[in-house]
Amino acid sequence: MSDKTKIWLSSPHMGGKEQEFVNEAFETNWIAPLGPHVNGFEADLEKYNGVAHAAALSSGTAALHIALDILNVGPSDIVIVQSFTFCGSANPVIYRGAEPVFIDSEEETWNMCPIALNNALEDLSQKGLIAKVKAIIPVHLYGMPAKMDEIKAVASSYNIPILEDAAESLGSTYKGTFTGAIGDMGVYSFNGNKIITTSGGGALVSSNKEWIDKARFLATQARDDAPHYQHTQIGYNYRLSNVLAGIGRGQMLILDQHIEARRKNFERYQNLFSRINQKGYAVKLQPGLENSFSNRWLSSIIMDPAENKGKDREGLRNFLQEENIEARPLWKPMHMQPVFQNAKYYGGDVAAKLFEIGLCLPSGSNLSEDDWARIETKIESFFS
């Protein structure tokens, strides 16, 4: 191993004001899963995303879990989930005792294929199972908005609500609307590697006030309005801490700068690979739709060895590792995960192929010029 400092795929990037907000929480003794920073952070999220209501929660996974509860997902129900994603999109379906049914991706955005979705709903309908389908979870992977109009058209023809997993796409827009605010509910994540972070955290957003009020209620152990502790239903301990919400408020001030930096990273890779492709290679960056705007959370490539003189993504990943540069294969689809081996799946091999040939490259908003010199030199030498 080299003694070079590690270049991370995506690392936390503080702007400077976070510490002040955290200090304020200490000075006012609001060290609890409620307080002015929680309210302030929610207001920031509502304003930024143009969505009426936001509940700040302990993680994106917790937000999805609570959303499924609000949509009355229970044992023997079905939830349709994009297969090409992180397990946080799918695990909450299992927490509710329900069954995930996975859908393949399409090649234009790498997200849920509306045609495969339609096939799934048609088939479930024929099997008499459509009444069990309680939600559809499309994901905006690596920041790229999914084909929401097409997905919404299919969903509404069966009257099934859409829960957007916008964990990776805070700040991305589709036809002018922020991801998370397009479906019936949306989820953001503020985990350490996301575009902004509260170290760990998440949010559930919706234009439906009742739902978000209910999310806050469920996230604080479903406490009824009584002087003693009284419960008429099962809740969760999923509220975001006021200390961490302080970090979130600081991060919201620099979200746009982070998006700009990440989009510059993407451009830089575009330039790098267009130089490399002139030498007979065919490396492709994540595509997308014309009328959508990606925050470019992670710059990701696909490189088919058949089009790249036999060079493959594991070769590149290991080569970068030598220089202590972190890169990671694209998400392994959920329908290929041992834990979901018995789950239903609709589609072809688009997601499987993306996993086989795809790689996420260092994409932090805090990459230095020195980091970039190392990344570019190493990638260029791999292809020379």
Ligand X SMILES: *Cc1c(COP(=O)(O)O)cnc(C)c1O
In this complex, which beta carbon is closest to ligand X, that of residue 166 or of residue 212? 166
Shortest Cβ distance from residue 296 to ligand X (Å)? 14
In this structure, how many other beta carbons lie within 10 angstroms of the beta carbon of residue 31?
Answer: 11
Could you tell me where the beta strands, DSSP code E, fall in 59-209?
Answer: 78-82, 99-103, 133-137, 163-165, 173-174, 177-178, 185-189, 202-206
Q: Does 111 bind ligand X (CB under 6 A)?
A: no
H-helix segments, the chain = 18-27, 36-49, 60-70, 91-95, 114-126, 148-157, 209-219, 242-252, 255-277, 313-322, 350-357, 369-382
Q: Does 288 bind ligand X (CB under 6 A)?
A: no
Shortest Cβ distance from residue 59 to ligand X (Å)? 3
One of 10, 49, 83, 89 touching ligand X (CB under 6 A) = 89
Exposure of 80 in the CB half-sphere (CA atoms within 13 A): 35
Q: Does 363 bind ligand X (CB under 6 A)?
A: no
Alpha carbon distance 128, 139 (integer Å): 27
One of 49, 85, 173, 294 touching ligand X (CB under 6 A) = 85
Phi first, then psi, for residue 219 (nearest 5°) are -75, -10
Q: The tokens 């609500």 sit on which residue?
A: 161
Q: Does 139 bind ligand X (CB under 6 A)?
A: yes
- Catalytic-residue membership of 194: yes
Catalytic residue among 147, 194, 332, 378: 194
In this complex, which beta carbon is closest to ligand X, that of residue 68 or of residue 167? 167
Name the closest residue to ligand X (Cβ): 60
Q: Does 86 bind ligand X (CB under 6 A)?
A: yes
Closest residue by Cα to residue 58 from 34, 40, 79: 34
Token representation of residue 217: 């209620």
Which among 83-91, 148-156, 218-226, 230-238 is the span making contact with ligand X, rule CB under 6 A? 83-91
Q: Does 191 bind ligand X (CB under 6 A)?
A: yes
One of 138, 183, 186, 202 touching ligand X (CB under 6 A) = 202
Residue 300: burial class (beta carbons within 10 Å; 0-12, 13-18, 19+): buried
In this complex, which beta carbon is closest to ligand X, that of residue 240 or of residue 301? 240
Token representation of residue 256: 């746009």
How many binding residues for ligand X (CB under 6 A)? 14
Q: Does 197 bind ligand X (CB under 6 A)?
A: no
Which residue type does 290 have?
E
One of 146, 167, 255, 259 touching ligand X (CB under 6 A) = 167
Sign of CA dihedral 234, 82, 262, 359: positive
Shortest Cβ distance from residue 62 to ligand X (Å)? 7
Residues lying near ligand X in the complex (CB under 6 A) are found at 59-61, 85-86, 88-89, 139, 165, 167-168, 189, 191, 202
The residues annotated as belonging to the active site are 194
